[in-house]
């Protein structure tokens, strides 16, 4: 479009790391870069990332220098058109480019907690069962005998549950362990009217020393989309009052500070909304944290819509994006749905293959939430997802009569 710039931008960042940090693992975390980003640290290529809206990280320990020597991070970021990387064609939003979200330098011990996932196999007003799965990495050349501790904190910060287990991590390996968190009695449930937010503090201990620790949000709730009676949360019907929202603001483009993201979520909640769709891509982590806190339910989606280039390459890119989205956000109780943007302009056979592959990957990664798609364009594609988004009208009413067991969300 006229005046719409797509091209290449270069960044350079100089930084020092004090000698006292020598021996630590060093990571670079990027919350969002548009669209294809390539990185070099001290002249050595670190890697590449494709996709504007999902977060990613690189372990740069082998490239970094400690002490008085400066490190130089170089980034090449472009938002050039690619028909194999969604979103492909300009729709109702602008494809800004560059490093537009936060970037973090993270230091840890060579043995650290790389990921924590919580599961609630059963939840009621009386009791909630909790399981916690952790990935533990050991980048050192020696096996580590440690203790893994999970502390469950209630919304006021009080300790309600603590479980621990010994773990052995072989050298240069990553292990996955699952702990039974037991039962939390009379849990305070998460809902739009009462967004009670627990936290899980995960820590690795070597004797009395804490080797690594991190926290994740935790929410106790259960829900379902009933095809005839509507949406049920914690056993009660909740009228969904929704909106879409784009990560754009006058004068800022997409480069919003966290405070602006949080403020927009507060405005959305104040106007009576209890549900929003991340049109049409994963949003900044700050929006998910605000949604947890404010009681905003979320349909988070990938920008699978419009034109599709080579289906094999396109699908591979989208499946990577799906993994990055779910890995980052699955612990947020606000998320009710993993979605696809919809309105795909491709032959039915191609659309079916792509949507089918993404839906299967969503379910493989997280069975606790339904797969949804807006405007699937055809019964065969509707059948691939759990919840269908359609416009208000007689055609939608007729379709619901035709498929009475299929939940619809209308906008």
Buried b (16+ CB within 10 A) or exposed e, 113-127: bbbbbbebeebeeee
Give the phi and the psi of residue 255 in degrees, each rounded to 5: -85, 65
The rounded distance, in Å, linking the Cα atoms of 367 and 128 is: 18
φ/ψ of 377, rounded to 5, equals 60, 70
What lies within 8 Å, CB to CB, of 127 at 6+ separation is 183, 184, 185, 186, 187
380 included as an active-site residue: no
Dihedral sign (CA 288, 289, 291, 295) = positive
The DSSP secondary-structure symbol of 195 reads B
- Catalytic residue selected from 38, 57, 307, 343: 343
For residue 17, give every residue at least 6 positions away whose Cβ sits within 8 Å of its Cβ, in sequence order, or none.
26, 64, 65, 66, 67, 71
Render 11-48 in DSSP notation, one character per residue.
EEEEE---GGGTTSEEEEEES-EESEEEEEETTEEEEE
Three-state DSSP class for residue 143: coil
Active site residues: 343
């Amino acid at each position: 479009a006229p005046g719409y710039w797509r091209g290449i931008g270069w960044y350079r960042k100089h930084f020092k790391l004090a000698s006292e940090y020598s021996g630590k693992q060093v990571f670079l975390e990027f919350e969002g870069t548009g669209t294809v980003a390539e990185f070099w640290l001290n002249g050595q290529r670190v890697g590449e990332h494709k996709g504007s809206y999902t977060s990613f990280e690189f372990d740069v320990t082998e490239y970094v220098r400690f002490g008085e020597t400066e490190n130089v991070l170089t980034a090449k970021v472009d938002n050039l058109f690619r028909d194999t990387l969604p979103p492909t064609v300009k729709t109702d939003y602008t494809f800004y480019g560059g490093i537009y979200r936060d970037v973090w330098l993270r230091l840890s011990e060579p043995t650290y907690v790389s990921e924590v996932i919580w599961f609630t196999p059963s939840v009621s007003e009386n009791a909630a069962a909790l399981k916690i799965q952790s990935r533990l990495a050991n980048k050192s050349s020696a096996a580590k005998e440690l203790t893994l501790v999970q502390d469950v904190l209630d919304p006021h910060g009080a300790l309600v549950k603590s479980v621990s287990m010994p773990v052995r991590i072989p050298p240069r390996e990553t292990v996955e362990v699952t702990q039974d968190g037991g039962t939390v009695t009379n849990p305070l449930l998460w809902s739009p009217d009462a967004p009670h937010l627990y936290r899980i503090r995960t820590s690795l201990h070597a004797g009395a020393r804490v080797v690594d620790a991190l926290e994740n949000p935790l929410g106790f709730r259960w829900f379902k989309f009933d095809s005839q009676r509507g949406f049920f949360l914690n056993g009660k019907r909740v009228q969904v009052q929704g909106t879409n929202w784009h990560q754009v603001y006058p004068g800022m483009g997409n480069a919003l500070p966290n405070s602006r993201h949080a403020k927009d979520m507060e405005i959305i909640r104040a106007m009576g909304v209890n549900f929003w769709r991340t049109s049409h891509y994963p949003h900044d982590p700050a929006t998910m944290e605000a949604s947890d806190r404010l009681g905003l339910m979320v349909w988070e989606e990938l920008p699978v819509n419009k034109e599709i280039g080579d289906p094999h390459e396109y699908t591979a890119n989208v499946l990577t994006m799906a993994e990055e989205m779910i890995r980052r956000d699955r612990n947020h109780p606000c998320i009710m749905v993993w979605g696809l943007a919809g309105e795909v302009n491709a032959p039915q056979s191609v659309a079916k293959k792509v949507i089918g592959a993404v839906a299967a990957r969503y379910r493989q990664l997280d069975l606790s939430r339904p797969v949804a798609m807006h405007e699937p364009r055809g019964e065969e594609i509707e059948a691939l997802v759990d919840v269908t988004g359609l416009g208000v009208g007689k055609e939608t009413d007729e379709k619901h009569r035709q498929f009475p067991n299929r939940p619809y969300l209308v906008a």
